[in-house]
Amino acid sequence: MFPKEFRYSPRNLKDLLTEMKDTSELMVDLAYSAMIYDDEDIAEEVLNLEDKMDTLDYHMKMAAMLTTRRVDEAEELLGVLKVAASSENIANAAGDIAKIVLMNMGIPMELKVALREAEETIVRATVAAESRMAGRTLGDLELDLETGMWVIAIRRNEDWIYDPDHETRLRQGDVLIARGHDEGVPLFFEMATTRKFIPREIEHNKIIKDLQHAVDIIVDMKNMSELSVGLAYSAILFDNEDIAYEVSALESEMDSMKYELQHWVLETAKHVEDVNMLRGILHLASASEAISDAAYGIADTVLRDIELHPIITLAVRNSEEVITRLQVEKCSPVVGKTFSELKLETETGLHVMAIKRAERWVYAPKGNTVVQAGDMLIARGSRIGEGVLIEMCECKLRQ
């Protein structure tokens, strides 16, 4: 296999950094889904995106070198290059998770089943010529209402559209990546492809004792690695050391969890006939921890007081998926309600990653979590949804 040849073409640093952020985050989502659902097609998409990230990284370094002429200019771009390198590391780790599927590494089915129960489904479907999706906008289709799925990305030939909005018009041949609940997958797939969805048969035989301990660790590692990435970008967007320290704490906890899981695998291997079935667990743990390490690399630019070039905050802010923080006031109508009652993801398209409550953080709040006055919400999602969330949470004027 010949090494890939890069050809330089002028690119804007901010646009490059934005695209690297969007691509790396999408890769993490797709990689975990490919592993959980044994989906080789989605795993291949991850590796294609990994190639794209290599190209973006090359253009980023070239653009940075051509931009600087003096020492002070080079110092200003240190933070930009550090964030870009960390995004590339996140992408590489996501690629490693995808290879678990493509290389048929051992992941016990009990683990996949547990992750499926805690995870919304991601599905990949190609728009057929005769599909009623072809030529229509996402706003016209109202897929979230009809199928319970929403499109998070579109691959159009070699180009990607991240977090498409209601005005995005679908074309024949578009490869759609959608997220939602299991029951919506057949409806969405058949609408896009005009073919009946055939779920994969699952053979589920419990053959490993005490697997639940490993399952609990890996579920936590997956959730924490994804949370680390979101919080890291939040830290640089808001230049907030408090959030950056939380990323650092998560990274330390991930290290401990990886070592605990390695110990479990070594102990369990003595009681398993084929140790290959445990190989994927070690690979998954290392890749998840690498994502957390890379996220800490992003947050570290804040902790080390490296000057944040305006390009960094502009790139994060201009990303298709925005990150926002919102203080809940006492008079807000959301106070006292649970996240299940509010249905924020459905109503706004935003996912609340964490809540700061007094001096304590609540990560990945569950449906029964009650919103309290003074809560600081850190959320990510569509740009349109940001305004809707603010409107939902703001104090209503007395009549």
How far is C-alpha 41 from the geometric centre of its chain's CA atoms? 18
Integer Cα distance of 164 and 145 in angstroms: 16
Task: Give me the count of residues in the chain.
Answer: 399
- For residue 282, pLDDT over 90 is answered with no
Of 67-76, 98-107, 114-123, 268-277, the poorest mean pLDDT is in 114-123
Cβ–Cβ < 8 Å for 152, 179: yes
Q: So what's the pLDDT on residue 255?
A: 93
Residue 95, classified by CB atoms within 10 Å of its CB into exposed (0-12), middle (13-18) or buried (19+), is buried
Structure tokens at 275: 């140790």
Domains of the chain: 13-108+207-314 (1.20.58.220), 119-193 (3.30.70.1450), 320-393 (3.30.70.1450)
Q: So what's the pLDDT on residue 1?
A: 45
The one-character DSSP state at 167 is T
Provide the b/e sequence for 139-177 (b: ≥16 CB within 10 Å). Answer: eebebbeebbbbbbbbbeeeebbbbbbeeeebeeebbbb
Residue 186, classified by CB atoms within 10 Å of its CB into exposed (0-12), middle (13-18) or buried (19+), is middle
For 130-143, the pLDDT digits (tens) are 999 999 998 888 88
Q: So what's the pLDDT on residue 175?
A: 92
Structure tokens at 259: 């070592």
- For residue 206, pLDDT over 60 is answered with no
Q: So what's the pLDDT on residue 2?
A: 46
CB atoms within 10 A of CB 254: 24
Helix (H, G, I), strand (E, B) or coil at 157: coil
**How would you list the strands of the sheet with 149-156, edge to edge?**
121-126, 175-180, 149-156, 159-162
Give the DSSP letter string of 297-338.
Answer: HHHHHHHTT----HHHHHHHHTSSEEEEEEEPPTT-TTTT-B
- For residue 398, pLDDT over 80 is answered with no
Average of per-residue pLDDT across 376-384: 78
How far is C-alpha 361 from the geometric centre of its chain's CA atoms? 20
Q: Out of 6-20, 53-67, 114-128, 309-323, give the one with best mean pLDDT.
A: 53-67
Cβ–Cβ < 8 Å for 295, 251: yes
For 310-328, the pLDDT digits (tens) are 787 777 777 666 778 888 8
- For residue 381, pLDDT over 80 is answered with no
Average of per-residue pLDDT across 157-163: 83
Integer Cα distance of 147 and 185 in angstroms: 7
Q: Quickly state the pLDDT bin for 53 (edges 50, 70, 90).
A: very high
